[in-house]
């Protein structure tokens, strides 16, 4: 039933939140009590948080299609045939293109496809698409409750979030090399030409600024200017990365130290689709806001207030 799905969802989400809280606070408590230094990073979360969240991602589509009190689970899977087929195709193609070493990546992207296509299947059923004239489907869309559209936006955004997290983590590019003026390097579909360095000075710092001309398909996109700054008053140094942020990914350039051969140590990073994480999170919150504007909630609150006020007046 949908009630059981909601309980299952809340249980796993609460457990996942507790795992993140534990992983965040445990090193701080250990350092405060015993002075011990412990790092809690990706291995801990990959072994604990991901297995908890995976069932939530799969069940969010199924739970929203179940009936209240008593649902037909086999019937729901029958209605989700299109989502199942697309999921299997996505997993197969990505595994075929990237090999078995990326099977977990293919599985994660398959789950994202499952969420998005499964949500679209629900929209198609509610609008009765392809079974009735289009104008009637549009009329149905106008009369569907806002809570439903909020669910559609939030669940689709969850799929977008999974795509962003998976691709930015699995296919991240990192290159470290020595470069002199005129050297070129490719990363994430971009060609970067190192144009050397110039001295710079600010209100309270001095430093060195590098220049990277960024090109894509032979056309100049931008010039990135990473810096190494020195603050005499604080007696410390900082590194300022040059960043190009696009919908397809973020490109970072970092300037290191100069070698004896007058070559600069440089780092180039490309994080693909990292902005999809922010887009997904924003749309999830937006979906929640849409649901809160549902007229049934507004009228329900007003009716309860009116009845309470009338009883007091009488």
Q: What is the pLDDT of residue 307?
A: 57
Query: What pLDDT does 71 receive?
Result: 77
Terminal-residue alpha carbon distance, the chain: 41
What's the pLDDT score for residue 300? 53
Can you give the pLDDT at residue 308?
Answer: 56
Ranges of residues in the chain whose predicted pLDDT is under 50 = 310, 314
Q: What is the pLDDT of residue 299?
A: 56
pLDDT score at 235: 81
Rounded to 5 degrees, φ, ψ at 113 are: -65, -40
Q: Check residue 232 and give its pLDDT.
A: 86
pTM: 0.81
Confidence (pLDDT) at 17 = 93
Nearest to 178 by CA among 271, 270, 253, 256: 256
């Amino acid at each position: 039933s949908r009630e059981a799905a909601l309980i299952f969802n809340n249980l796993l989400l609460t457990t996942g939140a507790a795992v993140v809280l534990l992983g965040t606070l445990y090193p701080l408590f250990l350092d405060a009590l015993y002075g011990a230094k412990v790092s809690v990073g990706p291995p801990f979360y990959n072994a604990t948080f991901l297995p908890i969240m995976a069932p939530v991602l799969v069940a969010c589509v199924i739970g929203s299609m179940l009936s209240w009190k008593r649902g037909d689970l086999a019937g729901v899977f029958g209605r989700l045939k299109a989502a199942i087929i697309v999921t299997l195709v996505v997993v197969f193609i990505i595994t075929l293109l990237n090999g078995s070493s990326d099977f977990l990546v293919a599985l994660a992207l398959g789950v994202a496809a499952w969420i998005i296509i499964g949500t679209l299947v629900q929209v198609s059923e509610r609008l009765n698409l392809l079974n009735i004239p289009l104008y009637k489907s549009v009329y149905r869309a106008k009369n569907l409750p806002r809570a439903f559209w909020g669910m559609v936006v939030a669940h689709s955004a969850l799929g977008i979030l999974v795509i962003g997290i998976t691709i930015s983590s699995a296919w991240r590019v990192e290159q470290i090399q020595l470069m002199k003026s005129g050297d070129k390097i490719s990363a994430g579909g971009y060609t970067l030409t190192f144009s050397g360095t110039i001295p710079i000075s600010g209100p309270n710092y001095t430093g060195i600024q590098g220049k990277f001309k960024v090109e894509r398909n032979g056309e100049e996109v931008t010039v990135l200017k990473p810096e190494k700054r020195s603050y005499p008053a604080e007696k410390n140094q900082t590194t300022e990365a040059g960043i190009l942020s696009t919908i397809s990914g973020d490109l970072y350039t970092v300037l290191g130290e100069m070698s004896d051969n007058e070559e600069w140590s440089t780092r180039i990073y490309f994080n693909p689709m990292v902005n999809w994480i922010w887009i997904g999170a924003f749309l999830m919150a937006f979906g929640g806001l849409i649901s809160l504007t549902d007229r049934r909630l507004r009228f329900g609150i007003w009716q309860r207030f009116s009845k309470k006020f009338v009883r007091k007046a009488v």
